[in-house]
Amino acid sequence: MLAIQVDDDGKATPDSAPMPGVGLLGMRERVTALGGRLRAEPRSEGGFTVQAELPVDQTS
């Protein structure tokens, strides 16, 4: 399993609604198509975090 986490220190807060768009939707579709999982949410200290877990082919 390959785990990736990206945190930013942007303007998102836990009590704010995410801005509309297709960025997260597109990421989720791609990660799911590869058999992985995606989690995205505001961070308690402000900003946003995106975590993806992707399966890795062990035969390579």
> Percent of the chain scored above 90 by pLDDT?
48
Q: What's the average model confidence in pLDDT over 18-47?
A: 87
Residue corresponding to tokens 């900003």 = 47
Q: Which helix (H) or strand (E) holds 33?
A: helix 23-33
Alpha-carbon gap, residue 24 to 29, rounded angstroms: 9
Query: Mind listing the pLDDT tens digit for each residue in 34-46?
Result: 999 999 998 888 8
Query: Using an 8 Å Cβ cutoff, are 53 and 3 in contact?
Result: yes
Residue corresponding to tokens 């590869």 = 34
Alpha-carbon gap, residue 4 to 37, rounded angstroms: 11
More confident residue, 48 or 50: 50
